[in-house]
């Protein structure tokens, strides 16, 4: 394999490896192993996911988004913000406004320096007030699909939120039969004010708590609004300490005009060497 140029970017603590794949440097078939290898922290560049920028006949570009475990996801809000800034920085799209294709649908984005705002596809599959039994406790959760599936649980206070065992509870809900076969991302949320939330997210495909999740923050804002707890625009404080802003219109039947806004930063640029990928693969195979 040749050396592959990439940018490492972070969307509020959700980190990604972005590759301009318009010439097919990374073959899409069988790229699960490649993704798993490059996302392994300490053994490679390490990231929550990989974004491949591809050609598209109709949009400015298309993307393929992969979680760290190699699974492909329909959407990623923080990744979408990084992809838009990457496309602008790399001259793939010279205009600050662009449209790109994802498996969830077309995404419009606007880049203003570090700040990127993306318009999301319409949320669907809202299932409020589900009582879910895990081990000896019954949890009240609310489900929604904001491009990928999410559930939201509300904590009584920021202190309760900080004490929650996000890994254990998140993992139990992620694999709960109620959300099978796709599984779900799991968001733990505290209300801080009339337009302010704090969030912790267990991410499907990373299989751990991440420092931020864009579609999860949107799910939290929409569900909190539906429950009468907040009003837009909603500021969501993530585990990285950075804040995401969620804009939307709420009607009696639906939410529309849903936007996610926040910073998308470049951490470094580099070349992936195949020797690293090879050694990681050998270790995984053992």
Ligand X SMILES: N[C@@H](CCC[C@H](N)C(=O)O)C(=O)O
Report, as residue numbers or ranges, the catalytic residues.
Answer: 76, 213
Closest CA to 25 of 13, 14, 38: 38
**Smallest gap, in angstroms, from Cβ of residue 41 to ligand X?**
16
**Smallest gap, in angstroms, from Cβ of residue 261 to ligand X?**
13
Q: Which is nearer to ligand X, 4 or 246 (CB)?
A: 246
Question: From CA 138, how far away is CA 182, in angstroms rounded?
Answer: 22
**Smallest gap, in angstroms, from Cβ of residue 157 to ligand X?**
25
**Smallest gap, in angstroms, from Cβ of residue 118 to ligand X?**
10
User: Strand pairing partners for 271?
Assistant: 5
Q: Which is nearer to ligand X, 5 or 46 (CB)?
A: 46
List the structure tokens of 157.
Answer: 């206070």
- Residue-wise DSSP of 196-225: EEEEEEEETTTTEEES--HHHHHHHHHHHH
Q: Is 67 annotated as a binding residue?
A: yes
Report the interface residues with ligand X, using CB under 6 A: 14, 67, 73, 76-79, 148, 185, 203-206, 213-215
**Smallest gap, in angstroms, from Cβ of residue 185 to ligand X?**
5
Question: From CA 216, how far away is CA 239, in angstroms rounded?
Answer: 12
Q: Is 30 annotated as a binding residue?
A: no
Q: Is 77 annotated as a binding residue?
A: yes
Q: Which is nearer to ligand X, 5 or 183 (CB)?
A: 183
List the structure tokens of 53.
Answer: 């920028």
Q: Is 21 annotated as a binding residue?
A: no
Q: According to the 3-state scheme, what is the secondary structure of 136-203?
A: CEEEEEEEEECCCEEEEEECCCHHHHHHCCHHHHHHHHHCCHHHCCCCCEEEEEEEEECCEEEEEEEE
Question: From CA 127, how far away is CA 150, in angstroms rounded?
Answer: 10
Q: Which is nearer to ligand X, 79 or 232 (CB)?
A: 79
Q: Which is nearer to ligand X, 33 or 69 (CB)?
A: 69
Q: Which is nearer to ligand X, 14 or 21 (CB)?
A: 14
Q: Is 14 annotated as a binding residue?
A: yes
Any residues with CB less than 8 A from the CB of 185 and at least 6 apart, and which?
148, 149, 150, 151, 174, 201, 202, 203, 204, 213, 215, 216, 219
Q: Is 170 annotated as a binding residue?
A: no
List the structure tokens of 137.
Answer: 């406790």
DSSP-derived pairing of the beta strands 185-193 and 149-154: parallel
Q: Is 214 annotated as a binding residue?
A: yes
Closest CA to 141 of 228, 157, 132: 132
Measured CA angle at 185 (ends 193, 161), to 5 deg: 40
**Smallest gap, in angstroms, from Cβ of residue 17 to ligand X?**
14
Residue positions in the annotated binding site?
14, 67, 77-78, 185, 203-204, 214-215
Residue positions in the annotated binding site for substrate?
14, 67, 77-78, 185, 203-204, 214-215
């Amino acid at each position: 394999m040749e050396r592959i140029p990439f940018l490492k970017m972070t969307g509020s603590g959700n980190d990604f490896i972005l590759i301009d794949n318009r010439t097919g440097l990374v073959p899409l078939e069988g790229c699960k192993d490649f993704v798993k290898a490059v996302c392994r922290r300490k053994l490679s560049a390490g990231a929550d996911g990989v974004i491949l920028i591809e050609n598209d006949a109709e949009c400015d570009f298309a993307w393929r988004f992969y979680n760290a475990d190699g699974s492909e996801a329909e959407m990623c809000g923080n990744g979408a913000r990084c992809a838009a800034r990457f496309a602008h920085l790399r001259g793939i799209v010279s205009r600050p406004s662009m449209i790109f294709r994802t498996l969830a649908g077309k995404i419009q984005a606007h880049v203003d320096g570090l700040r990127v705002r993306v318009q999301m596809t319409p949320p669907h599959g809202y299932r409020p007030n589900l009582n879910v039994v895990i081990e000896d406790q019954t949890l009240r959760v609310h489900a929604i699909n904001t491009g990928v599936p999410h559930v939201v649980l509300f904590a009584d206070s920021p202190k309760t939120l900080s004490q929650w065992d996000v890994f254990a509870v998140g993992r139990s809900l992620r694999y709960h039969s109620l959300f099978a076969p796709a599984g779900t991302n799991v968001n733990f949320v505290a209300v801080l004010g009339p337009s302010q939330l704090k969030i912790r997210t267990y991410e499907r495909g990373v299989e751990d708590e991440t420092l931020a999740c864009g579609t999860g923050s949107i799910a939290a804002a929409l569900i909190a609004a539906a429950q009468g707890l907040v009003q837009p625009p909603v500021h969501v404080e993530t585990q990285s300490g950075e804040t995401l802003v969620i804009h939307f219109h709420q009607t009696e039947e639906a939410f529309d005009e849903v936007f996610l806004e926040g910073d998308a930063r470049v951490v470094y640029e580099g070349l992936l060497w195949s020797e690293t990928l090879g050694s990681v693969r050998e270790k995984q195979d053992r």
